């Protein structure tokens, strides 16, 4: 398919929309400034052509995109295990919030603020997950309308849906491991659904400020946890948590593990441990968390700690992946001079 321009259908967005704006003729360029990884611990900003939209697709100008410190860190460093759609150069990102600026199929959606969990619309680069760009072409069904008071918090919806998916597969956890953004969202969701979890966190700075107990693992005397949800990505976590579990406890592995998870069988045997893996979220998980946010049952506040323009992508990604004080970094495409 060819890149070029498409009609913006005469609609003007209600708010500014980043580096690529309609020309005086009302036409939109089919290219985007995109974050690109090459697997060598670097992130660069490049112009990429976009594949022309099909009849059922929307053009979205991105306002904010999030940086995931799990899977994206592995893509950035080149340590990502074999994964469908993987290859370099690669556009990362599955946490984008933007505004619909063009659509043949749904002109009534132009102007909507939407959450987009990635795209595969780039020429000359793999899109895994493809959301870290100033403009995206996506199927209409993948653009989820949000009406949040703080719309940039919508970048957290993918992680919230991931947490919901982990909780939906078993009993509500009485222990959550890891107090990064995913762990915090898991704890908030568990409480919203009626749970009362304890959280383990090894980083003392990340144990502060929560309304639920967050403790160092070595300070926990309990030996009766029945449902454990690991969000840490620590491949050796099973051996560490088993002494704190009761007989028949279930451990859910819901992080992403670059190393091979393993455990000592004799202790697992004596405990008759059950093991569950939670993978990607499903549409029903996203619908559920959007509903919980809308009713006020789930708060996304206080989780975004750093904001960077796309023009400073290299330093933003490095900081997101290496600075423990950076809980959640987002890219602000509006402030970019790309």
Contacts of 141 (CB under 8 A, 6+ apart): 56
Task: Domains for the chain: give ranges and CATH numbers.
Answer: 5-150+301-332 (3.90.180.10), 158-277 (3.40.50.720)
Q: What is the pLDDT of residue 12?
A: 32
Q: What is the pLDDT of residue 188?
A: 98
**Confidence class for position 258, pLDDT limits 50, 70, 90:** confident
**Confidence class for position 26, pLDDT limits 50, 70, 90:** low
Sheet-wide strand order for 90-91: 43-49, 31-37, 90-91, 126-127
DSSP state at residue 50: B
Convert the pLDDT of each residue in 159-190 to its tens digit. Answer: 999 999 999 988 999 999 999 999 999 999 99
Q: What is the pLDDT of residue 84?
A: 77
Is the confidence at residue 230, as pLDDT, over 90?
Answer: yes
Supply φ then ψ for residue 154, to 5 degrees. -60, -20
Q: What is the pLDDT of residue 20?
A: 43
- Number of CB atoms found within 10 A of residue 247's CB: 10
Q: Rounded mean pLDDT of 149-164?
A: 97
Q: With contact defined as beta carbons under 8 Å apart, do 226 and 196 qualify?
A: no
Is the confidence at residue 46, as pLDDT, over 50?
Answer: yes
- Pairing of the two strands 135-139 and 144-145: unpaired
d(CA 280, CA 285): 10
| Tokens matching residue 113 | 């603020």
Mean pLDDT of the chain: 90
Could you give the C-alpha distances from 279 to 68, 171, 252, in angstroms and in order? 15, 16, 10
**Confidence class for position 259, pLDDT limits 50, 70, 90:** confident
Q: What percent of the chain has pLDDT over 90?
A: 80
Is the confidence at residue 328, as pLDDT, over 60?
Answer: yes
Convert the pLDDT of each residue in 186-228 to its tens digit. Answer: 999 999 999 999 999 999 999 998 999 999 999 999 999 999 9
Return the higher-pLDDT residue of 160 and 15: 160
Longest dimension (CA), the chain: 72
Angle of helix 157-168 relative to helix 283-295, nearest 10 degrees, comes to 110
DSSP secondary structure string, 244-275? Answer: GEEEEEEEEE-S--SS-----HHHHHHHT-EE
Q: What is the pLDDT of residue 338?
A: 47
Q: What percent of the chain has pLDDT over 70?
A: 91
Convert the pLDDT of each residue in 78-101 to its tens digit. Answer: 888 877 778 999 999 999 999 999
Q: Rounded mean pLDDT of 269-294?
A: 96
């Amino acid at each position: 398919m060819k890149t070029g321009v498409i009609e913006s259908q005469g609609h003007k967005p209600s708010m500014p929309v980043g580096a690529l704006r309609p020309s005086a003729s009302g036409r939109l360029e089919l290219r985007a400034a995109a974050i690109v990884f090459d697997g060598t611990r670097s992130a660069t900003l490049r112009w990429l052509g976009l594949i022309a939209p099909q009849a059922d697709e929307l053009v979205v100008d991105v306002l904010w995109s999030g940086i995931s410190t799990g899977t994206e860190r592995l893509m950035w460093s080149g340590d990502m295990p074999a994964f469908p759609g993987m290859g370099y150069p690669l556009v990362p990102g599955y946490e984008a919030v933007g505004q619909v600026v063009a659509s043949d199929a749904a002109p009534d959606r132009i102007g909507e603020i939407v959450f987009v969990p990635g795209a595969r619309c780039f020429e000359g680069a793999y899109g895994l997950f493809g959301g870290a760009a100033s403009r995206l072409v996506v199927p209409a069904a993948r653009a989820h309308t949000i009406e949040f008071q703080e719309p940039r918090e919508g970048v957290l919806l993918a992680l919230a849906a991931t947490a919901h998916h982990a909780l939906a597969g078993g009993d509500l956890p009485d222990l959550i491991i890891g107090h990064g953004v995913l762990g915090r969202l898991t704890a908030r969701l568990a409480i919203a659904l009626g749970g009362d979890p304890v959280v383990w966190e090894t980083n003392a700075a990340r144990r502060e400020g929560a309304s639920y107990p967050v403790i160092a693992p070595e300070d926990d005397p309990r030996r009766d946890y029945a449902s454990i949800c690991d969000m840490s990505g620590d491949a050796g976590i099973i051996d560490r948590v088993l002494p704190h579990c009761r007989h028949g406890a279930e451990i859910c592995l819901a992080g992403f593990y670059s190393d091979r998870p393993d455990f000592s069988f004799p202790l697992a045997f004596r405990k008759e441990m059950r093991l569950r893996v939670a993978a990607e979220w499903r549409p029903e998980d996203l619908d559920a968390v959007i509903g919980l946010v809308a009713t006020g049952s789930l708060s996304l506040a206080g989780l975004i700690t750093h904001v960077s323009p796309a023009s400073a992508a290299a330093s933003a990604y490095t900081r997101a992946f290496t600075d423990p004080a950076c809980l959640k970094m987002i890219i602000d495409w509006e402030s970019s001079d790309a």
